[in-house]
Amino acid sequence: MAKHFRGGEIREIFSRNLKLFRGRKGLSQFALSNKAGIAHNFVNDIENQKKWVSPETISKLAAVLDVEPYQLFMTNPLDGKQTKRIHLYLDELNNRFNEVMGEIKTTYLFVGDDKP
């Protein structure tokens, strides 16, 4: 069963992850705010849990930080190596899926007048 979080806990998780991902990208609050198109003091207020964010702001921050928006809400966010491994695995899975679908298409589906 999923844990129930209070609003303050969610804000704390978001704040911590924003700082974490910002640090991983080597961005200051000022640089993040400029790239995301939001006020510098607003980033500071978010990180200090004084203000909350709209879905649009979450999207802007995630894009600049090169993360999926949901990652800003994870209680144990993945590190860069874990994320890279997951993406490599998904790419490999996608490539294999496409190969199998090509084989199925070639074997079982007829194209034009090539087969009866």
pLDDT tens digits, residue range 49-59? Answer: 999 999 999 99
Task: Tell whether 14 and 59 lie within a shared domain.
Answer: yes
pLDDT in tens, 23-50: 999 999 999 999 999 999 999 999 999 9
Residue 37: which region, alpha, beta or left (left: phi > 0; alpha: psi -120 to 50)?
left
| Domain count within the chain | 2
Specify the DSSP class assigned to residue 71. G
Which pLDDT band holds residue 91 (cuts at 50, 70, 90)?
A: confident
Band (109; pLDDT cuts 50, 70, 90): confident
Report the mean per-residue pLDDT for the chain.
Answer: 86
On whether both 110 and 84 belong to a single domain, the answer is: yes
Asked whether residue 48 falls in the same domain as residue 99, the answer is no
The CATH number that applies at residue 22 is 1.10.260.40
Does residue 2 fall inside a structural domain?
Answer: no
Q: Do residues 72 and 18 touch, judged by C-beta distance below 8 A?
A: yes
pLDDT at residue 78, rounded to an integer? 63
Q: Write out the residue range of the structural domain in which residue 33 sits.
A: 7-75
